[in-house]
Amino acid sequence: MMTLTTLSRLRRSLAAEHVLSVYLDFATPNPADRDTWRTALDHALERARTHLAGANRGERAAFDHSVAHLAHAVERAARESPVGWCAFITASGVREAHALSMHVPTLAMWSIGACIAPYVRVLHNAELVWLAIADSRKVALYQYHAGTLTPSDKFRAHNLVDQPEHMGNQVSPHFHSGTHGATGHDAAQRSLIAGRDRMLDEASNRLDALASERAWIVVGGIPVVAAQLADRLPARPRRVVIRVPLDVHASAAQIAAAARSAACTLRGASDSSELAELLELENDGLATTGEEVTNRALDEARVKTLYVTPHFLDTCATASESAVRSALDQHAELVLVNGEAGAHLDEIGGIAARLRYRTSRDAARAS
């Protein structure tokens, strides 16, 4: 999949060309009917073709060539991409195509430049989650990204003190260690604790290095040990650490499911927090909500982060495409707002922006 940087690069490279942009969902409600996606794609292409009624012969030919290139590429994609797929195709060939790890609405658009607004959904699904599953003997780290769980590092506790022997010989059944001093049992316990602490220090240092400034970290396993690991992680402004009830013997599927659930929870909390902050910034002239004022800020190249909702993407396709293209051109971040925060944003226009600076007009309004 593409990052925001590669999406921006694709946008620039295709800005002046006719592009067939295709998003495909291979899922089907009836497992026996595996070709449902073909019907959906045919309907989407037919809708795109209807907009060519007044086009010249050259453009119609370019569309037909693009559809032919699509026909070759999509057959392989259907075999190799069980979830979804997207492609950006011109008359000269497929310019970009790759599998998607999430379901997207099936779409086919013919336009000058690539249709990139639907890709905001894909970017939104690409958050990186780090998981740590800990007990007193080991910590296992995993990366969860774009629907895929990947094992990372493992750390183990090492006991450096052996149970003492009596005078180098086998211990008598009636012998006990240390009447007046530290017992062998106490020494072993201290060794176990020291080994566990070293392990947790190593794991937390590695996790801190792996996780970016704006990271989601999920910690599970034995509750007491998981809590100690979480407490060792240095606080960062954009870092969120949560603990989940995840057994140390959990399967890969169970770990992935926990990561997916945690990501959904974290995403909802993050969206609500950002929207609340955005509304406060709007009072100071450093944010906008609603299509009219947000478009004005986009035209003035003042947008630092653009926020849209799934409803806005679906119901305002032309407006969302224009806004997303403009945001990419000024190197703004793109954020899809879901859940309760998304419903709230829909009530005030479905689109918003965090601004780089405010104008004198905004400053006068804020005062």
* pLDDT of 269: 83
The one-letter amino acid code at 339 reads G
Whether the Cβ atoms of residue 119 and residue 7 lie closer than 8 Å to each other: yes
CATH code, residues 269-366: 3.30.1330.30
242-300, pLDDT tens digit by residue?
888 888 888 888 888 888 888 888 888 888 988 999 999 999 999 999 999 999 999 99
Whether the Cβ atoms of residue 2 and residue 98 lie closer than 8 Å to each other: yes
Q: What number is the average pLDDT over the span 41-70? A: 94
Percent of the chain with pLDDT over 90: 54
* pLDDT of 169: 54
Look over the chain and give the mean of its residue pLDDT values, rounded to a whole number.
86
- Domain parsing of the chain, residue ranges: 4-116, 128-162+183-250, 269-366
CA separation for the pair 345, 100 (Å, rounded): 27
Q: What number is the average pLDDT over the span 25-51? A: 82
* pLDDT of 236: 74
* pLDDT of 302: 96
Residue 348 pLDDT more than 90?
yes
Confidence of residue 76 (pLDDT cuts 50, 70, 90): confident
Among 3.40.50.150, 3.30.420.60, 3.40.630.30, 1.10.101.10, what is the CATH number of 128-162+183-250?
Answer: 3.30.420.60
* pLDDT of 258: 87
Give the E-state strand segments of the chain in sequence order: 18-25, 84-90, 93-100, 107-112, 128-134, 138-145, 148-156, 216-221, 240-243, 287-289, 303-308, 333-336, 351-355
DSSP 56: -
pTM: 0.76
* pLDDT of 51: 87
125-136, pLDDT tens digit by residue?
767 889 999 999
Residue 231 pLDDT more than 80?
yes
* pLDDT of 167: 47
141-163, pLDDT tens digit by residue?
999 887 788 899 999 987 655 54
312-344, pLDDT tens digit by residue?
999 999 999 999 999 999 999 999 998 899 999
Residue 29 pLDDT more than 60?
no
* pLDDT of 28: 65
CA distances from 97 to 14, 40, 65, 79, 117 (A): 14, 18, 16, 14, 16
Q: What number is the average pLDDT over the span 86-109? A: 92
Q: What strands, in cross-sheet order, belong to the sheet with 138-145?
A: 148-156, 138-145, 128-134, 216-221, 240-243
Top CATH class of 4-116 equals alpha beta
Token pair of 246 as six digits: 């995840």
* pLDDT of 322: 97
How many helices and strands, by DSSP H and E, does the chain display? 12, 13
Size of the chain in residues: 367
Same fold, 4-116 and 269-366: no
